[in-house]
Amino acid sequence: MIVRISRTGPVDATFEAPPSKSYTHRALIAGALAAGRSRIVGPLRADDTELTARGLEQLGVSIEWLPGEITVTGCGGTFPAPGEVTIDCGNSGTTLRLLTSAALLSRHPVVLTGSRRMLERPVGPLADALQALGGDVAFAGRPGFPPIRVSGRLRGGRTQIDGSMSSQFVSSILMAAPYADEDVELTLPVPLASRSYLDVTADVMLRFGARLERRGYDWFRVQSGVPYRGRDYRVEGDYSSASYLFAVAAVCGGRVAVTGLNPASVQGDRRFLDALEAMGCRVTADDGAVTVERTGDLQGVDIDMSSSPDTVQTLAAVAATAQSPTTITGIAHLQYKESDRVGVTAETLRRMGVGVAVTDDSLTITPAPLHGVLVDPKDDHRTAMAFAVLGLAVGGMAIREPGCVEKSFPGFWEALYGEGLL
C-alpha cells in the first residue's frame, strides 16, 4: 500500500494530540506491579503499548482495555505467571527493555524476543547492570542482543550503568527497583542518551507512590519496600506525535493548534517547539492549545537534540524547507532505533535534492530545490510521518507501507485527512 501526498498550504488546522506513548508504557508497568487496582485514563492504544500490555498479561496480570481507559489489577510486586513464558516484543524496544528488569519479579524465568530488527538492538549494558543487582541474563544468540532469558532475583545494591545507547536501560531498572530486596543505587558514569525520558520515568514512579532520590542524571536511588499503589492516573498528550502536526505549519505556512498537551510537561520533545521558534515560527500556549504559526521564511539553526530524539527526523524535514543550513547534534544513538534513522533520513533527503553531511553525532542539512520521491520508511513510524509532513510542502511524495504509524500514532493519516491535507 502507498499513500500519495500532494502539495498544500498555507494551512489553518486544529488537532488533538494523541496520548503519550512513553507515559502509557510506564503507567501500565507501575499499575501491573502495584498493590490494588489502577485505572489509566486516556491511554495510547497503539501497537507498542499493546505489546507491553500483552507481555504483562503473559506474566499473570489482569488488564482490561475499555473505551478511553485501561483497568489494571496489580500483582503486588510478584508476577504470578505459572511457569516460564516467552514474550514477543515485536518491534517495541520500550517493551523489551522495560520488561527486562521487571522480569526478575516473576517466580519463573522469562524469555524476551522480538522482530528481526529488535534482535539487532543492543541490551548488553542493561544485562550487565542487572547481573550486578542479582539477576541472571543469558543471551540465546549473539552476546549482548536479544533474545534474552531473564532469571534470578532483583536483590538490589549499588551498580553503574552505561546509558549512552538508551536511557531505557536506566528506566528499566528504576521501574522495577521498589521491589528489590534492598535499595537500588545507580551511578551513570557517562553522558546519558535521551535523558528527558528519565524525567518521565521518575514522574510516573512518584505518582504511583515510589520513593526515588536523584542527583541530576548521574545518580539515582530507589527505596526498597515502598511499593507502587493502585490509583487513577490520566495520561497526558504526546509531544513526540504532536511534532508532526506542528511541523505542518512550519513547512506549509499558516497555523496549526494542538490541544491535549501539558504546557509544563517534562517530555523532552517539547524542545521541538523551541527549535521551530528559533527558525522563525511563532509559538503560543493558551486556551488549552499550543499553536504554531509561520508567515515568513524559515532560517536554519544549530541545535542539540540529544534530549529530544524522537523529533530529530521531524526537525530535519522542517530544515529542508529553510533558507539556510541547519546542524542537529546529539544524534549518535539514533542508529539503535527501529531503523538507522540518521542514515535513512540522510539518504531520503539527498534523493529529494537536499545537501546532507553526517558525522558520528551530527546531521547538517543544506536546503536546495526539492522534489518528491517514493519513501520506504523501513517499517519505522517516525520516518513515515516526518516525510509525509515534508511531502505536504513539496508535493509528489509517496509513502510506502503507511500502516507502520500504528506503532505510535494510529490516527495520523486520519488526522491529516480530516483537516483536508490529504
Alpha-carbon 251 to chain mean position: 23
Of 316, 345, 305, residue with least CA distance to 250: 316
Coil, helix or strand at residue 211: coil
Rounded to a whole number, what is the distance in angstroms from the first to the last CA of the chain?
A: 15
- Domain that residue 32 falls in: 21-223
Whether 114 and 251 map to the same domain: the answer is: no
What pLDDT score was predicted for residue 340? 78
What pLDDT score was predicted for residue 16? 96
What pLDDT score was predicted for residue 338? 47
> Is residue 151 included in any domain, yes or no?
yes
What pLDDT score was predicted for residue 335? 55
Of 12, 54, 43, 80, residue with least CA distance to 255: 12
**Active site (catalytic) residues:** 310
Whether 11 and 106 map to the same domain: the answer is: no
What pLDDT score was predicted for residue 83? 96
Whether 69 and 10 map to the same domain: the answer is: no
Using the 3D structure, point to which of 223, 257, 284 is the last residue of a domain. 223
What pLDDT score was predicted for residue 341? 83
Beta strands in 110-243 (DSSP E): 110-113, 135-139, 148-152, 157-160, 184-187, 212-215, 219-222, 232-234
Of 304, 309, 349, residue with least CA distance to 328: 304
> Is residue 232 included in any domain, yes or no?
no
Q: How many domains does the chain have?
A: 2
pTM: 0.93
What pLDDT score was predicted for residue 194? 80
Q: Residue 251 and residue 68: Cα distance in Å, rounded?
A: 33
Mean pLDDT by 10 residues, the chain (422 residues): 95 97 98 97 97 98 97 97 97 96 97 94 95 96 96 96 92 98 96 88 98 96 97 97 98 97 92 97 91 97 90 96 96 61 92 94 95 94 96 97 95 95 92
What pLDDT score was predicted for residue 309? 85
User: Angle, to 10 degrees, between the axis of helix 124-132 and the axis of helix 168-176?
Assistant: 30
> Is residue 404 included in any domain, yes or no?
yes
What pLDDT score was predicted for residue 165? 85
Place of cell 480530516: 418
Using the 3D structure, point to which of 197, 223, 249 is the last residue of a domain. 223
User: Cα dist. 319→235, 244, 327, 364 in Å?
Assistant: 31, 13, 9, 9
Using the 3D structure, point to which of 172, 198, 223 is the last residue of a domain. 223
What pLDDT score was predicted for residue 331? 84
Q: Residue 329 and residue 316: Cα distance in Å, rounded?
A: 11
Whether 146 and 291 map to the same domain: the answer is: no
Amino acid of residue 221: R
Residues 255, 257, 262: CA angle, nearest 5 degrees: 145
